[in-house]
Structure 1
Amino acid sequence: MESALSEIEFLALSPNRVAVLRRLADERHTRTDLAVATGASQATLGRILRDFEERSWIRRSDGGYVATATGELVADGFLDLLEIVEIEGDLRPIVRYLPTDALGFDLRRFEDATITVPSGTKPNAPVTRVLEFLRTAEDVRVFSHAFNEGSLTVIEERVSDGEMTFEGVFSRSALDAVADDAGLRRRLDSLLGAPDATVRVRDGEIPLAVTVADDVVHMLLRDANGVLQASVDTDDPTVRAWATETFDDYWEAADPVDPDDLAR
């Protein structure tokens, strides 16, 4: 293991080494190609190529260089690790709020995700982000432990105007919270009467707050006290497939909302 760690350190300490090996693993390059692509000096590039040849990671080919089979293996493994560490760095500030036990996909699927956190000037930024999607989406599905006032307003207005189809599954506690708020109750009453909307209630727990707006999956993340801490959204197809399957599971285990349940 010690020698393997030394080789990892050898690569990690030089961005130029990583850049050269990455390019040679993809295809043959001349020394001039590599100098232009990396910006490395000829002296630095010469040392890198000699070090790689000594390790049998590259070989000369038609006036240039290309990775060997073991060079490709090292490049693939190192670049995978680099990608994982970059993703981990993005997720580190919010990982404590991610319901990881309920996520049925590899966190690497968040590679291109957008993370939105509240700030002093935009304390509601995560909600604002989901409203952006709701204002343009034609098909929306939601499964959540809570109703968001802003989301419910946009959904009700767009469904009523014939601009959106909507299906939602909510926890019983979310429904009770709506029933206690006259404004939200009127919005939900209107939504329940719309032909392009269907809402169901689940007695069991829903540990997530997920909106699927067309091809985008958006998650609101709260802490143990219910305080909004961040949101994550992505159009990754694997995450979308997970969200669709999870919604279907909750939908099958839920019951249609009885408008009488909202009476207070």
Structure 2
Amino acid sequence: MESALAEIEFLVLSSNRVAILEALAEEPRDRSALAEATDASQPTIGRILRDLEERRWITRTERGYEATATGRLVAEGLTDLLAIVETEQRLRPVMEWLPVDVMAFDLRRLRDATITVPSRTRPSAPVRRVNGMIREAEDVRVCSHAFNEQSLEAVRERALDGPGTFEGVFSRTAIDALAEDDSLRTRLRELASSDGAAIRIHAEEIPIAITIADDRVHLMLRDDDGVLQAAIDTDDPEVLSWARSVHEAHWSAAAPLDAEGL
């Protein structure tokens, strides 16, 4: 294990070594092409090529240099490791609020996700982000333990004024909270009665807050006290597939909302 760690250390202590090995794993290149790919000097490139040749990670050919089978193996593993670490660094500030126990997908799928957090100047930034997505989408599906006034209005405007459709399944507590306010109850009844919308109530508390706006998934992240801490959205296909399956499962187990009975 120590020898393997030493080789990893050798490689990662130089960004140029990493860049050159990854470049040669893609295709054969000569020194000029490697210089363009890395901005390294010719003496530096020469030293790196000798080091990589000693480890039999690359070999010289008529076309220049190319990675060997083991060199490609190392390059692929390093690329995966870098992706994992980069993802972890991005998720670290919000990791404690991620509902990982119900997220049935590889966290690496969130590598390119957009993370939105509240700030002193924009405390409602996560809510504004999802409502902007809702207003622009044709098809909106929600599966959540919460339904606030801003989201209700965004969905209501879309369902009443546009050609879009809305399917929302909520915990009973989310609907009851809206129904306690006369104005919100009226708007909720209008939404539920519109042709483009359907709302269902789940008997049990839904442990997650998902919005699917067309092909983009938005997750609201709250702490144990229910305070909104951040939001993540992505168009990754695996995350989208997972979100749709979660919505479908809760939708199938829920009962239609009686709009007149609110």
User: When the two structures are superposed, what TM-score results if normalisation uses the length of structure 2?
Assistant: 0.98
Instruction: Give the whole-Å Cα distance in 1 for the aligned partners of 2:183 and 2:221.
Output: 24
Task: Give the letter for the 1:220 counterpart.
Answer: M
Task: Give the letter for the 2:258 counterpart.
Answer: D
Counterpart mapping for 1:101-116 below 5 A: 101-116=101-116
Q: Quote how far apart the aligned CAs of 1:114 are.
A: 0.3
Is contact 2:143–2:170 with CA below 8 Å preserved after alignment? yes
Number of equivalenced pairs:
262
Q: Quote how far apart the aligned CAs of 1:36 are.
A: 1.4
Q: Quote how far apart the aligned CAs of 1:261 are.
A: 4.6
Give a deviation string over 1:150-187, Cα, whole Å, max 9, x none: 11101111211133200000001111111112222111
Q: Which residue number in structure 2 is paired with residue 207 of structure 1? A: 207
Instruction: Give the whole-Å Cα distance in 1 for the aligned partners of 2:261 and 2:112.
Output: 41
Gaps of 5+ in 2: none
Q: Which residue number in structure 2 is paired with residue 253 of structure 1? A: 253
Instruction: Give the whole-Å Cα distance in 2 for the aligned partners of 1:216 and 1:72.
Output: 34
Instruction: Give the whole-Å Cα distance in 2 for the aligned partners of 1:186 and 1:22.
Output: 60
1:33 aligns with 2:29: no
Instruction: Give the whole-Å Cα distance in 2 for the aligned partners of 1:6 and 1:145.
Output: 49
SS at match of 2:93: coil
Q: Which residue number in structure 2 is paired with residue 70 of structure 1? A: 70
Gaps of 5+ in 1: none
SS at match of 1:100: coil
Instruction: Give the whole-Å Cα distance in 2 for the aligned partners of 1:60 and 1:261.
Output: 78
Task: Give the letter for the 1:79 counterpart.
Answer: T
Is contact 1:202–1:253 with CA below 8 Å preserved after alignment? yes
Instruction: Give the whole-Å Cα distance in 2 for the aligned partners of 1:184 and 1:25.
Output: 59
Q: Which residue number in structure 2 is paired with residue 126 of structure 1? A: 126
User: When the two structures are superposed, what TM-score results if normalisation uses the length of structure 1?
Assistant: 0.97
SS at match of 1:201: strand
Task: Give the letter for the 1:246 counterpart.
Answer: V
SS at match of 1:115: strand
Percent sequence identity is: 60
Q: Which residue number in structure 2 is paired with residue 218 of structure 1? A: 218
Q: Which residue number in structure 2 is paired with residue 83 of structure 1? A: 83
Instruction: Give the whole-Å Cα distance in 1 for the aligned partners of 2:243 and 2:169.
Output: 13
Instruction: Give the whole-Å Cα distance in 2 for the aligned partners of 1:34 and 1:124.
Output: 47
Q: Quote how far apart the aligned CAs of 1:86 are.
A: 0.2
Q: Quote how far apart the aligned CAs of 1:119 are.
A: 1.0
Task: Give the letter for the 2:201 counterpart.
Answer: V
Instruction: Give the whole-Å Cα distance in 2 for the aligned partners of 1:108 and 1:223.
Output: 22
Is contact 1:155–1:164 with CA below 8 Å preserved after alignment? no
Instruction: Give the whole-Å Cα distance in 2 for the aligned partners of 1:169 and 1:80.
Output: 37
Name the stretch that deviates more: 29-38 or 156-165. Answer: 156-165
Q: Which residue number in structure 2 is paired with residue 147 of structure 1? A: 147
Q: Quote how far apart the aligned CAs of 1:259 are.
A: 2.5
Q: Which residue number in structure 2 is paired with residue 169 of structure 1? A: 169
SS at match of 1:77: helix
Instruction: Give the whole-Å Cα distance in 1 for the aligned partners of 2:106 and 2:183.
Output: 40
Is contact 1:139–1:166 with CA below 8 Å preserved after alignment? yes
SS at match of 2:224: coil
Instruction: Give the whole-Å Cα distance in 2 for the aligned partners of 1:33 and 1:183.
Output: 67
SS at match of 1:204: coil
